[in-house]
A and B are shown apart, each in its own frame.
Chain A
């Protein structure tokens, strides 16, 4: 009897529920071998997260039916409550049922890798539906908030993280940002948790965003300064992952980035190799990010 109660209290986690980019996905009708191979974290990982979005997906496998991918970029386009998504030769139709519930029909060409990629694209499409973005950014947790570093590959984003003494590693290279009631919240895209930053990893899944800083490398002095709204929009646009190449999608993205630049201090940090910059960042934030 006690054993039965224990089993009821801790039911086995359904294999069909997974976590993708802070979104819960439920896979319906997918071939078992496809689901079994997924490396995405199970739904238990969602238990400490507030009101996650959920996508219920009907999955059909078409090993040879669809054309090979023309490019390797995820594409999505919202039209009203519907969104067409394509990635790695796979296609999906996503439909918003409510602000947090979605239904999707997936046609998967290929195997587990393609399915995981398509699920990631679906999750990212819901992020943009919610008025959020995915930035090419590395970031740290500093005093309970996220400081994100942006810039082209090789600009020194990871180095800036490692130089932020007293901080914890938060995100390696892809950050999801979504507006919420208190400002903007950030978390790492799956597979982009911090590694090799020389910092203890943050235990937080989601953090309020304190600042977004373009990284520059100097020789003498650590400098943190705010930039103009127009410069912030330019830097954010260059750092934003996009999947909607329509004019309407681009206009919507510009509006989102203008809002992000208005709500979150954006600027630049000049780092110096071997010189910690955590103190300068804290001081700048405490002074109101001038």
Chain B
């Protein structure tokens, strides 16, 4: 019995951490493109480990000491947040990718929407709700709030929102038909078979969507730098653009 317990304890406490692994914390919207990019990577730092969530969640986790080597955020704000707290290497920070904001609907109920000032968002929703990332903290939700405000319909839309914990959850609500409309990134919409893009938000309606990447403070290792260099390389960029991301 004691031997068994010792074995369990050994397994639990002494499980060796994967040697040399590079750990990337990336915004939920990057998940599929990042997985594809990681698969093509063959340099030092393998196996590359990834963790996807809303940039807000990841920034909080890094702030509290999560073992991330690289942070790939969906907006500059959360990168600023970490930079102000000296939790990233400022010199390593680059804006790597860009994206667009779109309005999506379930594929079987998709009718084009003209996104002009004062468009009838409440009428379009009927008794349904508008799925977005939580505008209090999720980047996709912050951009959505800016765009709806610019279009003059934020007050009409605010009470009708479903505030998802990250943009992929908002996308899933639309794809399952729980919400008749949602605001997500163009790259997310392209991945989901069950949704159609019914409108594109004008780029001037919100801050430019950039994905900054940086090394987390105290994690400046050669394998981390190698993987970051790979993400900046033409090979990785090709992968990202195949998922619809623009160069930033």
Partners in one complex: no
